[in-house]
Amino acid sequence: MGRFVQIHMLTSYPPANLNRDDLGRPKTAKIGGFDRLRVSSQSLKRAWRTSEIFKETLDGHIGVRTKLLGVSVYNDLRAGNIDHAKSLEWAKLIANEFGKLKEFSKDEKKKLKELSKEVREVKELIELEIDQLVFVDTEEKKLVTELVGKMISRNDGPQKDELNLLRKQMRAVDIAMFGRMLASKPEYEIEAACQVAHAISVHPVVIEDDYFTAIDDLNDGSENAGAAHIGETGFAAGLFYSYICINREQLIKNLGGDEELAMKAIKALTEAAVKVSPNGKQNSFGSRAYASYVLAEKGDQQPRSLSVAFLKPIMNQGIEGVDFGTAAINALTTHRDNMDTVYGSCADDCCSFNALEGEGTLAELLAFVAE
């Protein structure tokens, strides 16, 4: 098996608002002079790593992304009958190992003293929050839990050597894949083994507005026949090209040499990417979709996205019987062949399936990426 595994996908979504911008409208990008729909890589990765496929396949090997580790430790200590002051102090020592904590200003501390004991104790928990979201590995979480148990049993704070909680080798595949940044302790940062591109529509789009109303069930209309609520939300439909590149060697390294777990992770990520949709506005649009076409490649060659195949947007006007899906597949495979002609083979082996034509299977593709 080659160093790199590359996944190219075409997925069609009906009217949806999968990933919203700051105004609540679908995200877009201008490509080739045309507006396209866009789903950010952050949205895609979160949907995949929190999916049931990930949870069931990689049970025990999924990390926690949180700012509230200190609060969790505090709650466990309080549940073990450790008083507030000690729980707060000890939880700070543990949480501080994972990142810089929030701090009250002098004025804020002065105001805290004026509050009642009950309110003040709740407010003080703010200083247990880590400034930035941090990925906590499963082994690191286990060490934290064990340390909390020891502190409760002996009613004493953590010793200096007990605070060496961070690890360089991961057991959580999501951290091994997507990396971890620790500004305060860069020696424990994890280089991501997986790169995920923003998904883009292969054709131009215009964001439309859904004007909707809600009716009050108890209003019989005798006095007021108007709507109880009026709203508006943006939406669009699109056929998306998505690209994933996995550095298999880096993934195995991040997982401490566990090749079996790395292959299991690659297989789970591929299945999740093919089946799992971002969950933005799903209750309103029910836009869940499986990929219509997937191409997987393996090899040691320098990876490359095939997004340039859609620099010229897909248009099927005047081409009788050719739909956007078929046209997009043709554009993708043609560009791949052209790249191979110019640069030489860009991969050692490949496998694909085409759900529009009923060619190939997901099972074959998963066996290919994880063999």
Give the per-residue SS3 of the chain: CCCEEEEEEEEEEEEECCCECCCCCECEEEECCEEEEEECHHHHHHHHHCCHHHHHHCCCCCCEEECCHHHHHHHHHHHCCCCHHHHHHHHHHHHCCCCCECCCCHHHHHHHHCCCHHHHHHHHHHHHCECCCEEECHHHHHHHHHHHHHHHHHCCCCCHHHHCCCCCCCCCHHHHHHCECCCCCHHHCECCCEEECCEEECCCCCCEEEEEEECCCCCCCCCCCCCCEEEEEEEEEEEEEEEEEEEHHHHHHHCCCCHHHHHHHHHHHHHHHHHCCCCCCHHHHCCCCCCCEEEEEEECCCCCCCHHHHCCCCCCCCCCCCCHHHHHHHHHHHHHHHHHHHHCCCCCEEEEEECCCCECCHHHHHHHHHC
What pLDDT sits at residue 1? 58
Q: Are residues 365 and 237 part of one domain?
A: yes
Q: What is the pLDDT of residue 321?
A: 61
Flag whether 181 is in a domain: no
| pLDDT of amino acid 317 | 56
Answer whether 39's CB lies under 8 Å from 27's CB.
yes
Of 266, 239, 267, which Cα lies nearest the Cα of 356? 239
* CB neighbour class for 162 (10 Å; exposed up to 12, middle 13-18, buried from 19): middle
What span, in angstroms and rounded, lies between the C-alpha atoms of 326 and 316? 10
Whether residues 205 and 335 share a domain: the answer is yes
Q: Identify whether 185 is part of a domain.
A: no
- For position 171, what pLDDT does the model report? 94
Tell me the per-residue pLDDT of 296-328, one tens digit each, with 9 for 90 and over: 999 999 999 999 999 999 986 556 666 889 999
Pairing of strands 194-196, 293-299: unpaired
User: How much is the pLDDT for 320?
Assistant: 62
Distance CA 134, CA 174 (A): 12
Radius of gyration of the chain (CA): 25
Residue 215 included in any domain: yes
Q: Are residues 239 and 285 in the same domain?
A: yes
Q: Classify residue 177: in a domain, yes or no.
A: no
Q: CA triplet 36, 42, 46: central angle to 5 degrees?
A: 125
Shared-domain flag, residues 80 and 200: no
- Mark 236-272 as b/e (b = at least 16 C-beta within 10 Å): bbbbbbbbbbbbbbbbbbbbeebeebbbbbbbbbbbb
Same domain, 207 and 139: no
Both 48 and 77 in one domain: the answer is no
Q: Is residue 350 part of a domain?
A: yes
Shared domain for 47 and 111, answered yes or no, is no
* CA dihedral of 347, 348, 351, 354, whole degrees rounded to 10: 40
**pLDDT per residue as tens digits for the range 265-296:** 999 999 999 999 998 888 888 889 999 999 99
Asked whether the beta carbons of 12 and 238 are under 8 A apart, the reply is: yes
Low-confidence ranges of the chain (pLDDT < 70): 1, 316-322
Q: How many CB atoms lie within 10 A of CB 175?
A: 26
Number of structural domains the chain divides into = 2
Residue 244 lies in a domain: yes
d(CA 214, CA 284) in angstroms, rounded, equals: 13
User: Are 236 and 296 members of one domain?
Assistant: yes
Which structural domain, as residue segments, surrounds residue 28? 4-59+194-219+227-370
166 and 255 belong to one structural domain? no
Longest dimension (CA), the chain: 79
Least Cα distance to 124 among 134, 111, 142 occurs for 111
Token pair 């998904």 is found at 199
Whole-number Å distance between alpha carbons of 276 and 299: 26
Interacting residues of 3 by C-beta distance below 8 A, sequence separation 6+: 247, 248, 249, 299, 300
Evaluate whether 190 touches 175 at the Cβ level (below 8 Å).
Answer: yes
In a domain, 189, yes or no: no
- The answer to whether residue 179 is domain-embedded is no
Q: Are residues 93 and 53 in the same domain?
A: no
Residues 248 and 333 placed together within one structural domain of the fold: yes
Same domain, 55 and 77: no
